[in-house]
Structure 1
Amino acid sequence: MKRLIIPAFVALCGTAYGQTFENKFTRPLGDVLNDVSRRFGVRLKYDVDTTGLKLAYADFRIRPYSIDETLTNILTPFNFKPVKQNDKLYKVKPYEYARRTPEDGKKMIAWLTSLYADKAQWEARKDSVSREVRARLGIDPLLAACADEPPVYTKKRKFDGYTVQNFCIKTVNGHTVKGSVYAPSSKGMHPLIICPNGHFYQGRYGKVQQQRLATLARMGAICVDYDLWGWGESEDEVGTKAHHTAEAHVMQALNGIKVLDFMIRRKDVDKTKVGVNGGSGGGTQTVLLSVLDDRYTAACPVVSMSSWFDGGCPCESGLPIQLAGGGTCNAELAAMFAPKPMMIVSDGGDWTSTTPETEYPYLQYIYNMYGAKDKVRNIHLPKERHDFGPNKRNAVYEFFIDVFGLDRSKWDEEKVTIEKEDNLRFKPKGL
């Protein structure tokens, strides 16, 4: 008789919702989210598929006083996350390991700052983290295996105050990196600026990239860009899917180092003035290259550097370098450039929106350990969004005019000739 008590009780009390201790109060995830939507009066937009997914302890995860806590509790077991669009709309997205929140960024900066009270402690941390970044990236064995053949160049194309020449460099395992050199028409020694490009429209072949490099070349700097791994001519070699792999993370860094290896050997390069500058994913590369290569004397990451976003593409975060030192972020990696000149360009429409109050004061704190607080600067454009528009480019020009002594009188984007993509591709027959 006792054996019938529990089933009978369940039959009486559990059938209304079908939830019991025995089944862990499980409900279909889609049903739970529909209930939450009605309960809180919000609309949910899905970037994930919830079909067939079931949630244990479903209704116990609901917090009647907070839609945000409710959605986080419900979605976390599936590696989903809520992203608030406005008071009435939330997106349900896959968990993004490389993206956190501005509040997380503040906490990370506070934790990092607590690790070093003086220059000696900072230097010890810097050495440890930089070594671990290299190890997690796995770059040193690949660099050791690289070919050491000089670049092959196409003929120079002459424009108003500058020239453009395409190149091909053999790297490792039969791969190559291809790009273009924008150089001043004038003779003599010139600063060198390596310009990794981001995911902006058309990559290194786009108008914005050409405008910036050609203008800097007109003002007196040799500027070099090269394809992202799996983009442009690299796509012809390894395929477009290769860009969305961990391999892209290490190979783009390797390509940047090899480009510098050969360009810095040029007789017209002033080795005391070597810069690195890129936007978005190119800004992430700018920070990483500054950590991996101490030959740079000035750095300028644009709309990229953040304490709460590592870069959303595997080419920026495909390998777990942010786990170095028990946890780091691009702000700490950028700080490793101290005390050399650095400018951070940020805006109000992306993950750099917190730069003036979070990341920039932290960078000043590190630079101040060297008595070089004035060597780091921030240009913040609160009304702008994520791009490499005129105001961002103008900030870059001002920075390199200041640190490299470029010729301001040659600053004129209207003098730049925008070439077709085909012209910027390496063509052996054009040698």
Structure 2
Amino acid sequence: MHHRYLLAATCLLICPLVASAAKPEQAGAVSPSEIVNHRLLEKSQALLAKRREAYEQRTKVDDIRHHQQRLKQYFTEAIGGFPERTPLNPQITGTVQREGYRAEKIIFESRPRHFVSGTLFLPQDKKFPPPYPAVLVVCGHSENGKAYDGYQASCALLALNGIAAFIIDPICQGERKQLLKPSGTPAIRSSTTGHTQVGIGAILLGWNTAQYEIWDGMRGIDYLQSRPDIDGKRVGCFGNSGGGTQTSYLMALDERIVAAAPSCYITSFERLLPTAGPQDAEQNIFGQLAAGMNHADYIIMRAPRPTLICTATKDFFDIGGSWDAFREAKRVYMRFGFGERVDLAENDDTHGFKKPLREAAARWMLRWLADRDVAVTEPKIDLLSDEEMWSTPQGQVMLLPGARSAFDLNLEEAQRLERVRAEKWSDQTAAQSRERVRKTLGIPEQKEIAAASASEPGQQTDVVLTTTSEVPLTGKWLKPEGAPTGTTLYLHAAGADKAVDDDADLKALVDAGQSVLAIDVSGIGTTQPKGRRWYNESFGVNAGNAVLAYLCGTSMVAQRTEEILAIAKLMAEVDGKPSAPISLVATDELCVPALHAAVLAPELIDEVKLIRPLISWTEVIRGKLTQNQVVNAVHGVLREYDLPDLVTFLGDRVTIIDPVDGQGKPVD
């Protein structure tokens, strides 16, 4: 599989390379480095099959309405809800005149001092008297945001036909780069990398990058409705690629959107996950596959309001999935009696908001917002330069006095939760604390976790174990001469083979008489994904699989913790004889699941030694930029506990050596 990308003056969307392109039915061809991805794809497809079954049974309008409300509630909760509406404090910072329309430069605050930059394209008064219908236009992953040629052109086309168009920069794009260097230049140039760096912190809070984008869009509609020259009852929304994602979310959750046209996004997870794979942070909602929320459901949630699915034949958002989503939505709209209100436009081209799709979207908006069903032809448009589109003096909102970034908002919430957690942990018993940890991870109770099984009973040195993850866990069981003095489970992030060959600490344990099992849990050693990584090297080799787990409503931390507990159970009953409590040693990224296992199973694990462990999840958020932290992210964990809470809970049962921050740098 290859990275697919679109370059046109600026880079739009970069699709991640998942660890495996193998489809679940190709089980016989799965290599060890692809097996974790394969098992997660199997899990995702099973969840999607359950959703399809429920869809087919949902034929009555009342049942569909109940489904709409249930998914909207789930969706809102899964992204962390929305903040309170605060004053927008809008400013018009300039105007640019073009033939047939004018463009007003706008800044507003979606949250206090969290600035949103935008441009409002307004029709010519003499030809189209106000108040105007209006469309909120949301951007795909363009580095220059709203100034990207195709997105600008779509706004101008609407204004030339009598509809106002308000285009806003998403976070990490255009004038809204969320992290700047001292020089004022962006510290993160890639929008997908920026979204995901924000998203790692947001996940830990129980939020999502999507929350920022959706709320900015909702406040953009608030701004439109505040203007006397806009008809606030005739509002539409469209966007392409990442803007198609935002449109899908907004049209599902904001009932003020009369007509919508998501472009080059809507497909199906059945087709997306085995091909292009999961996208960047905002395009993955925690547990949405388990909740039964596929791409078609973004349309179904708003039925029967007018929706046009804009697609491209050669898109990496699979066109077959687009037609599947359209058919599902069409059947629902027919049940409401308004089949004509949902349609699909397919441009025989590659990914992008090309002219035919811009024209189709404009015609759709004219039909449903202006009561004019006319053919729309886009003329040659004199586009604005990036600087002409600037709403801010220096081209970046974070250079405005008192500006707060999404990183700042994440940290403020983390600090608030720290105070809340202190109260939760102050008066709990040990059993209650363990139960809080277990439920947050979402793993079974200890008594329900079966011991790992050996593929070949009686294995001596080389072992292959299996657990409920169905990932073969390979390792080496090193036993001393004579009766062992103790038992150690050794988890090395570089892999069991590397540990056995090079780790002096492991050799010292064996020399001291310990029976040592060095083994690879999911995504480590033999099952470590190979090839190019998900979006950016900084996210680590297991990031793509961690996102798949996230879509299913779990995490790699949970999967690995359960594997460790299953292995410990096996070790505790070697040859049918109970052994002494186990010592656990873990390095680097495996310290997080090892710490959880030690907390949850004191009867199995007597002590734990963590080498180069992550110091805390709060520090991940404080540091803003991270290295290899997607694999360690647990949705909403900071609402319940942080890693230091677990260390304190273990007391003298835990030893910490050379802790690191979220970038892997040593800390005191």
Question: What TM-score, normalized to structure 2?
Answer: 0.48
Which structure 1 residue ranges, 4+ long, deviate > 2 Å from structure 2?
Answer: 47-50, 66-77, 79-82, 107-112, 171-174, 200-203, 236-242, 245-248, 404-413, 427-430
Contact 1:132-1:321 within 8 A present in 2 as well: no
2:195 to 202, 219, 243: 243
Instruction: State the distance in 2 between where 1:403 and 1:296 align.
Output: 11
Residue in 2 that maps onto 1:124: 66
Instruction: State the distance in 1 between where 2:320 and 2:394 align.
Output: 49
Contact 2:267-2:322 within 8 A present in 1 as well: no
Contact 2:268-2:295 within 8 A present in 1 as well: yes
Displacement after TM superposition at 1:237 (Å): 5.4
Displacement after TM superposition at 1:175 (Å): 1.3
Instruction: State the distance in 2 between where 1:96 and 1:356 align.
Output: 20
Residue in 1 that maps onto 2:424: none
2:200 is the counterpart of 1:261: no
Instruction: State the distance in 2 between where 1:341 and 1:67 align.
Output: 37
Q: Which amino acid aligns with 1:298?
A: A
Q: Which amino acid aligns with 2:63?
A: Q
Instruction: State the distance in 1 between where 2:153 and 2:174 align.
Output: 18
Instruction: State the distance in 1 between where 2:373 and 2:326 align.
Output: 28
Residue in 2 that maps onto 1:313: 280
Q: How does 1:65-214 map to 2 (within 5 A)?
A: 68-72=26-30, 74-77=32-35, 79-80=36-37, 107=49, 110-140=52-82, 142=83, 144=84, 146-172=85-111, 174-186=113-125, 187-200=129-142, 202-214=144-156
Q: How does 1:321-360 map to 2 (within 5 A)?
A: 322-323=288-289, 326-349=291-314, 350-355=316-321, 357-360=323-326
SS in structure 2 of the partner of residue 233 of structure 1 = coil
In structure 2, the CA distance between the partners of 1:251 and 1:96, relative to structure 1 (3 Å rule), is: farther
Instruction: State the distance in 1 between where 2:37 and 2:241 align.
Output: 25
> What per-residue deviation string (whole Å, max 9, x for no partner) do you get for residues 295-348 of structure 1?
11001111111221486111222x416246x32112112211111111111222
> What per-residue deviation string (whole Å, max 9, x for no partner) do you get for residues 24-73 of structure 1?
xxxxxxxxxxxxxxxxxxxxxxx6999xxxxxxxxxxxxxxx99323436
Q: Which amino acid aligns with 2:195?
A: H
Q: Which amino acid aligns with 1:243?
A: H
In structure 2, the CA distance between the partners of 1:252 and 1:96, relative to structure 1 (3 Å rule), is: farther
Q: Cα RMSD between the aligned structures?
A: 3.2
In structure 2, the CA distance between the partners of 1:412 and 1:351, relative to structure 1 (3 Å rule), is: closer
Displacement after TM superposition at 1:139 (Å): 2.8
Q: Which amino acid aligns with 1:163?
A: R
Instruction: State the distance in 2 between where 1:421 and 1:182 align.
Output: 15
In structure 2, the CA distance between the partners of 1:235 and 1:124, relative to structure 1 (3 Å rule), is: same
Residue in 2 that maps onto 1:299: 260
Instruction: State the distance in 2 between where 1:370 and 1:48 align.
Output: 39
2:175 to 230, 233, 236: 233
> What per-residue deviation string (whole Å, max 9, x for no partner) do you get for residues 207-265 of structure 1?
11111101111111110111121112110557535422324321111100111111112
Instruction: State the distance in 2 between where 1:252 and 1:129 align.
Output: 19
1:379 to 345, 352, 361: 345
Structure 1 gaps of 5+ residues are: 1-46, 51-65, 83-94
Residue in 2 that maps onto 1:22: none
Q: Which amino acid aligns with 2:138?
A: P
Identity, in percent, stands at 19
SS in structure 1 of the partner of residue 159 of structure 2 = helix
In structure 2, the CA distance between the partners of 1:321 and 1:173, relative to structure 1 (3 Å rule), is: farther
In structure 2, the CA distance between the partners of 1:356 and 1:171, relative to structure 1 (3 Å rule), is: closer
2:366 is the counterpart of 1:427: no
1:400 to 345, 362, 365: 365
Displacement after TM superposition at 1:155 (Å): 2.2
Displacement after TM superposition at 1:293 (Å): 1.0
Instruction: State the distance in 2 between where 1:369 and 1:376 align.
Output: 12
Contact 1:200-1:387 within 8 A present in 2 as well: no
Give aligned pairs, total. Answer: 347
Instruction: State the distance in 2 between where 1:365 and 1:68 align.
Output: 32
SS in structure 2 of the partner of residue 155 of structure 1 = strand
Residue in 1 that maps onto 2:483: none
In structure 2, the CA distance between the partners of 1:357 and 1:108, relative to structure 1 (3 Å rule), is: farther
Contact 1:108-1:307 within 8 A present in 2 as well: no
Contact 2:68-2:302 within 8 A present in 1 as well: no
In structure 2, the CA distance between the partners of 1:48 and 1:340, relative to structure 1 (3 Å rule), is: closer
Contact 1:219-1:409 within 8 A present in 2 as well: no
Instruction: State the distance in 2 between where 1:176 and 1:428 align.
Output: 13
2:187 is the counterpart of 1:220: no
Displacement after TM superposition at 1:356 (Å): 6.3
Residue in 2 that maps onto 1:389: 354
Q: Which amino acid aligns with 1:315?
A: E
Displacement after TM superposition at 1:117 (Å): 2.0
> What per-residue deviation string (whole Å, max 9, x for no partner) do you get for residues 248-298 of structure 1?
321111100111111112111122311010111111111100122111100
Instruction: State the distance in 1 between where 2:231 and 2:158 align.
Output: 15
> What per-residue deviation string (whole Å, max 9, x for no partner) do you get for residues 332-372 of structure 1?
12211111111111222232411564111111111112100
Instruction: State the distance in 1 between where 2:225 and 2:94 align.
Output: 20
SS in structure 1 of the partner of residue 94 of structure 2 = coil
Q: Which amino acid aligns with 2:228?
A: K
Structure 2 gaps of 5+ residues are: 1-16, 181-186, 203-208, 396-668
Question: What TM-score, normalized to structure 1?
Answer: 0.72
